[in-house]
């Protein structure tokens, strides 16, 4: 096997082994659309090796008829500006050779390429797609301008070998094509072909014809991304697919929000239906406590003297009061009387959504009834609710609760004609209805003693 092909084989084997060692799960990090460059890795370095030859795909009149392939190698550093464009600095070194000059004056030449350095723009293709979040393969094009230094050695037809005694320096234009394969989030396999147009006709040390010399470089290598491994490479980032992912995530979030609101609305509807049913049941329960057939102010349920004549003053049990009860005694409301009323207000509680008085409220109400019987006070009851439910339902409930308090106090012997019961619904709140504690405070019956 020729030495040049041995070198190429070793290079290809090294690239394959390197990709196998470094292979791992591809980077799938999500980057929010329109993120700045600091969200990506933009800098990278690369090494490559391959074949240098004066033969190119741009055929023309050649100084030597039989080009040969020689080994070359190079390195580069690149800054990716946007996903589709980056700028890189390249270094290339190696040999270029051929046999049999077109004029027949020379048998062969071999040029030692001391260096070829250039600045090139790299245009990445096919990484803009709706379908793929990240493309594994990125084709690219490169073009730039550089400076080369080389030293030709040529052999005449008679076998005389001559080496140019100084380095020749010329500018050149590199134009390339290739593709990169993402082996890992950090490493890319770089396969490329580059044609270098020399600004001169002396790459082979032989000025012949009117065209400038050129040479090609077919290479394989590895590119290593620099920076934090938590960030993806900008060159492999697909901004269009990123915007599509953002749109799909927003759509999913909106759908989840809509589903949650629908569930909440259904639960509220069920709660309102349950409250309405409870209010209707309470209303039916209260009917038997509010029917007053003889109009004496004492419901039939508590009236021990039914069919009392109209206008007759009765006691809490519905029986007529003695007509000789003195009415000229003037009684005053004392602080002790007010304390009894405040205690009754503080201890008064109802079942939720109903006008049913809880048992622990009875002792305080009995004291109020006793106060009305003993001193002949009048009492105004004003019922209120929180803001849960409709206006009409709250008005009924507040009225029913005030009537329930009146009914109980009358059952303890108080004069029904001295007790006024009104309902005001959710008006005049004394606390915020936005909290459970505030709503509990607003569900009340106010006592006014006079």
How far is residue 233 CA from its own chain's centroid?
A: 22
Of all helices (H) and strands (E), which one includes residue 327? none
What's the pLDDT at 245? Answer: 62
Task: Retrieve residue 323's tokens.
Answer: 């007509």
E strands along 199-287, which residues? 214-225
pLDDT < 50: residue spans in the chain: 1-2, 4-28, 130, 324-327
Burial of residue 94 (CB within 10 Å: 0-12, 13-18, 19+) is: buried
What's the pLDDT at 248? Answer: 66
Task: Retrieve residue 270's tokens.
Answer: 């069920």
Q: Which of 235, 237, 240, 236 is nearest to 122 (CA)?
A: 235
Which tens digits make up the pLDDT trace of 373-415? 888 888 888 888 888 888 888 888 888 888 888 888 888 888 8
- Distance between CA 283 and CA 403 in Å, rounded? 12
What's the pLDDT at 191? Answer: 97
The strand pair at 70-82 and 43-53 is best described as antiparallel
CB atoms near residue 415 (< 10 Å): 22
8 Å CB contact between 402 and 443: no
In terms of pTM, does the model score above 0.85? no
Helices (H) and strands (E) in the chain, counts: 6, 13
- Distance between CA 97 and CA 95 in Å, rounded? 7
- What does the chain come to in residues? 450
The strand pair at 85-101 and 64-67 is best described as antiparallel
8 Å CB contact between 384 and 337: no
8 Å CB contact between 126 and 135: yes
- Distance between CA 43 and CA 186 in Å, rounded? 11
- Distance between CA 382 and CA 153 in Å, rounded? 117
């Amino acid at each position: 096997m020729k030495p040049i092909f041995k070198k190429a084989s070793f290079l290809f084997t090294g690239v394959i082994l390197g990709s196998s060692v470094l292979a791992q799960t591809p980077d799938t990090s999500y980057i929010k659309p329109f993120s700045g460059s600091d969200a990506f890795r933009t800098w990278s370095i690369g090494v490559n090796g391959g074949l240098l030859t004066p033969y190119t795909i741009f055929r023309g009149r050649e100084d030597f008829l039989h080009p040969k392939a020689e080994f070359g190698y190079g390195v580069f550093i690149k800054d990716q500006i946007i996903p589709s464009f980056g700028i890189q600095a390249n270094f290339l070194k190696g040999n270029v050779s051929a046999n049999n000059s077109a004029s027949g004056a020379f048998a062969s030449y071999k040029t030692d390429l001391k260096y070829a350095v250039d600045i090139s723009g790299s245009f990445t293709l096919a990484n803009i797609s709706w379908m793929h979040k990240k493309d594994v393969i990125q084709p690219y094009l490169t073009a730039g301008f550089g400076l080369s230094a080389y030293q030709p050695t040529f052999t005449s037809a008679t076998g005389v070998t001559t080496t140019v005694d100084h380095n020749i320096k010329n500018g050149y234009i590199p134009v390339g094509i290739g593709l990169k394969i993402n082996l890992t989030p950090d490493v890319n396999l770089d396969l490329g072909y580059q044609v270098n147009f020399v600004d001169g006709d002396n790459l082979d040390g032989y000025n012949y014809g009117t065209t400038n010399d050129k040479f090609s470089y077919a290479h394989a290598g590895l590119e290593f991304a620099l920076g934090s491994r938590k960030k993806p490479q900008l060159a492999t980032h697909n901004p269009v697919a990123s915007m599509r992912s953002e749109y799909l995530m927003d759509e999913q979030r909106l759908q989840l929000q809509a589903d949650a609101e629908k569930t909440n609305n259904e639960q509220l509807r069920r709660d309102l239906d349950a409250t309405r049913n409870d209010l209707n049941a309470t209303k039916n329960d209260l009917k038997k406590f509010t029917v007053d057939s003889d109009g004496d102010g004492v419901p039939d349920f508590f009236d021990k003297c039914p069919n009392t004549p109209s206008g007759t003053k009765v006691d809490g049990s519905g029986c007529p009061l003695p007509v000789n009860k003195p009415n000229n005694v003037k009684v005053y409301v004392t602080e002790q009387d007010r304390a009894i009323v405040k205690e009754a207000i503080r201890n008064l509680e109802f079942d939720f959504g109903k006008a049913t008085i809880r048992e622990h409220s009875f002792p305080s109400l009995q004291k109020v009834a006793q106060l009305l019987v003993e001193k002949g006070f009048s009492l105004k009851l004003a019922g209120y609710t929180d803001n849960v439910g409709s206006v009409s339902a709250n008005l009924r409930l507040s009225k029913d609760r005030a009537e329930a308090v009146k009914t109980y106090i009358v059952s303890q012997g108080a004069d029904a004609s001295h007790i006024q019961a009104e309902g005001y619904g959710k008006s005049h709140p004394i606390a915020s209805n936005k909290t459970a504690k505030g709503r509990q405070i607003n569900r009340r019956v106010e006592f006014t003693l006079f």
